[in-house]
Structure 1
Amino acid sequence: MKTVWRGICNQWDCDEMGHMNVRVYVEKQMEGLAVFAHALGMPHAFAKNAPSTIIPVDQHIRFVREVLPGRPITMQGCLVEVGERDAVVYQELRHGDGELAACFRTRIAHVDTSSIEPFAWGKRVRAAMADDLGTPPEESAPRSIDPDAPGIPLTDISIDLPRSLGVPCIGMGAVPAKHLNVHGWMEPQWIIGRVSDSVPNLLHGWRKTVAETAGGLRMGAAVLEYRIRYHAWPQAGDLFEVYTGLGDVIGKTHSLYHWVMDPVTGKPWATTRAVAITLDLDARKAIPAAPEALAELERLAPKGLGI
């Protein structure tokens, strides 16, 4: 695999849990993807006025070990498969001692920057891709989320569904210009970032109760695994609303479906699934939730959404 990024986790990359926020993982993944684009013969893909670029379409992320401030981390990547106009890229972040921190499997599409419509790879790029095919290590395999499971048809994803189910809107806003890439679309890391910023509106009180019931522990949270389907790209001034419903509850983990929607058109910007835990901030271990707490969680975030 090629080395595509190297740096550290800064203090300002971390959230209230003391570890690197999910938004920053994707920010570094996208920077690594831009480096990888050079190796594929697309050095201008992320430059202003480029005729074509690559965008994430469907992404799976596993957060394996916490990344803490000041710790050195390195990213490597390879191609897993190549299609006529798309490909699957594997990227991994490792700590300085070689331990796996996080891994990404991202289906990317080759698109025209004026229309965001996919079109075929050029012959020179396809030739370069042949040298970058590889096999991800077994330790990076998906665990709780199947990245290849069929998603909901785009025509069936409407803002009317969560509203009709009583699924709460936990976040909303308008896209600022500073969150756009050089092509004028919202950068991918801000999709997961806006979801991350919204979740406390739903779960802060619930997680606090779970921690208190477990013995007055200091409460936090951590995401273990994520899948994001990107459906459309907001531009400056576009509105978004985040709706969150409960998925499976297995052991100490709970699964949440987050729909990032356009309230003007009723169509999706992105649909996501996250597997998370309530975290003991001192022991850095998962806190199990009692049955009555899980019943309350389903009341707060009714089931019925998917990805």
Structure 2
Amino acid sequence: MEQEATYRGTVYPWQCDHVGHMNIMWYVGKFDEANWNLFARLGLTPSYLRSSGRGMAAVQQNIAYRRELLAGDIVEIRSHLLELKDKSIRFRHEMRNAETGEIAATCEITGVHLDRSQRKSTPFADVIRETASRHLAEQVDV
């Protein structure tokens, strides 16, 4: 089963650097937007995070840049849940040029589930774990 995109957008001229391609700060920003769409699919919606006093924090992020993106390019990110632990998740984003299908960059992130009032990691709620597990299982079958 193909995973639905977690981000779609375009590269604007002001996002490009002196070399003429999208600056790295914008890759990070687009990956961040994909994070929140992935989290919502797992049940970590804005409503859940606000009402439960929970949050998510990235503790590791590794980006590989493969192809440049230029002003006007259409960008699509698809995300895959790689690992689910008691208090953390690890996932991978693939950013593609939507016109050519070429992978422009990949980003692997480890995120931790937080209790915002105590400012420390906390286990995922059972309902979040169950939803995330289904997404993890889908990726194994692909």
* Structure-2 change in CA distance of 1:50 and 1:17 (3 Å): farther
**Residue 95 (structure 2) pairs with residue 62 (structure 1):** no
* Mapping 1:1-307, distance limit 5 Å: 1-44=3-46, 51-96=53-98, 97-133=100-136, 134=139
Residues of 1 paired with 2:129 and 2:64: CA distance? 28
The CA deviation at 1:116 is 2.9
Q: Which has the higher helix share?
A: 2
Residue type matched to 1:64 in 2? R
Number of equivalences = 136
The CA deviation at 1:15 is 1.4
Residues of 1 paired with 2:52 and 2:128: CA distance? 15
- Report Cα offsets for 1:178-235 as digits up to 9, x if no partner: xxxxxxxxxxxxxxxxxxxxxxxxxxxxxxxxxxxxxxxxxxxxxxxxxxxxxxxxxx
Residues of 1 paired with 2:37 and 2:126: CA distance? 20
Residues of 2 paired with 1:58 and 1:103: CA distance? 14
Residues of 2 paired with 1:84 and 1:47: CA distance? 17
- Greater radius of gyration (CA): 1
Residue type matched to 2:17 in 1? D
- Report Cα offsets for 1:13-71 as digits up to 9, x if no partner: 11112111111111111111111111111111797676111111011110000011100
How high is the TM-score relative to the length of structure 1? 0.42
* Structure-2 change in CA distance of 1:113 and 1:2 (3 Å): farther
How high is the TM-score relative to the length of structure 2? 0.87
* Structure-2 change in CA distance of 1:42 and 1:72 (3 Å): same
Unaligned 5+ runs, structure 1 = 136-307
Residues of 2 paired with 1:12 and 1:49: CA distance? 37
Q: Matched residues, percent identical?
A: 26
The CA deviation at 1:2 is 3.3
Residues of 1 paired with 2:19 and 2:35: CA distance? 27
SS in 2 for 1:2: coil
Unaligned 5+ runs, structure 2 = none
